[in-house]
Amino acid sequence: MKKIPLVFTLTMLSIFSFAQKQNITWGEEFKMKKGSTDLTVIHTDKSGVYLQEGHLAMKSYFVIGASFRESATLVKLDKSLNELYRTDFNKELKGKEFVEFFPFRDKLLIIASEYRKSEKTMELFGSEIDKNTGLTTGTWKPITSFQKEDKKSEIEFKLIPNADTTKIILVSTITGKEKNSFLVQEFDGSLKAASKPATITNEFG
């Protein structure tokens, strides 16, 4: 197992000391699971700290080998940095690619994508996580889909809250041989479209 370096512990203590101005007591030494690739603080609230622990999960298996995908474990620590739960979502993510854990207002969402090779389409999904248990509260909700111009087209997207955190903004680009498409769209906290997408296309002559 990997041990968390001192700078991580100091960062955690600083977050609580600054945000809540209360005394922090030491918990047991936090250790990353074998095979973990990284550790990131994604959210804090009155109940504790939420961490993203990256790892690889098997995507498909072949006789001569296997392919893997990036996945992540959600870890919650209490105010004393003791672990409350650890959820890997490998079962829920079967057939999908993990994108990110996305905190929004009082919610915590897990975002994933699924690429349909025959249709050259990438679909984006989201599901809410119960912050008390670390489990998803329902099925995957489709957010939007991206259509590639050709198989070599590149899709990039980013979810961010708007200025007053009342909406989720999706910003995306699709880069192809003949044109680039830029899209901006708003969604509410339930991942329902709150506006029509604004699209800008830059075609090459």
Nearest to 178 by CA among 150, 146, 139: 150
Between the CA of residue 134 and those of 49, 51, 89, 128, 130, what are the distances in Å? 12, 11, 9, 10, 5
Q: What is the spatial distance between Cα 125 and Cα 114, in angstroms, rounded to a whole number?
A: 8
The alpha carbon of residue 74 and the mean position of all alpha carbons in its chain are separated, in whole angstroms, by: 10
Q: pTM for the full model?
A: 0.76
DSSP state of 136: B
Residue 98, burial from CB neighbour count under 10 angstroms (0-12, 13-18, 19+): buried
Nearest to 112 by CA among 143, 86, 135: 143
Q: Give the tokens for residue 195.
A: 């506006």
pLDDT in tens, 21-49: 444 454 555 565 655 567 889 999 999 99
pLDDT in tens, 102-155: 999 999 999 999 999 889 899 999 999 999 999 999 899 999 999 888 878 899
pLDDT in tens, 130-144: 999 999 998 999 999
Provide the b/e sequence for 171-191 (b: ≥16 CB within 10 Å). Answer: ebbbbbeeebbebebbbebeb
